[in-house]
Structure 1
Amino acid sequence: MRWRVTVIVRLREGLNDPEGRVIGNALRNLGYAVENLRVPKCFEFELESENPEEEVREMCRKLLANPLIHDYEYRIEPVN
């Protein structure tokens, strides 16, 4: 079966996000009242699998996220 997968990877709470800090500062300089801006990574792909949950978790553990510094969440939907 074919699945559409979205994986969001974020730095763990309390870790420095330099890219988010720069973008947040730029937005504040433009007059927007933003605070604590963070920049997650989003991976979107299609997967042919009989066990997508297990494969996506494995992908996250092996490559997409570093468990020491990242949290991740994913969504798996069937492709019609």
Structure 2
Amino acid sequence: MKLRIFVTLKPGVLDPQGKAIGKALQGLGFQGVNDVRQGKLIELDVADDTTDAAIDEMCRTLLANTVIENYRVERA
């Protein structure tokens, strides 16, 4: 089973990489970009019988820092 794990910073957490991307886009002449938030996409291929609880544990233990990040699992 293929999974996509989207990891993003929680609202209110400073995102210096997002700010740098936003400034770079402005510097390149792109208009209308009001805000940029940067995150990660992790693709996993796991056994079909992998439980939701095991997937959640993977995310909470290693893939996301749940103090400052949210994650969302999508089955691809």
TM value normalised by structure 1: 0.85
Alignment of 1:1-80 (within 5 A): 3-32=1-30, 33-77=32-76
Aligned residues: 75
SS in 2 for 1:37: coil
**What is the CA RMSD across the aligned residues, in angstroms?**
1.2
- Percent identity of paired positions between Structure 1 and Structure 2: 35
TM value normalised by structure 2: 0.89
5+ residue gaps in structure 2? none
Which stretches of structure 1, 4 residues or more, deviate above 3 A after TM superposition? none
SS in 2 for 1:48: coil
More strand by share: 1
5+ residue gaps in structure 1? none
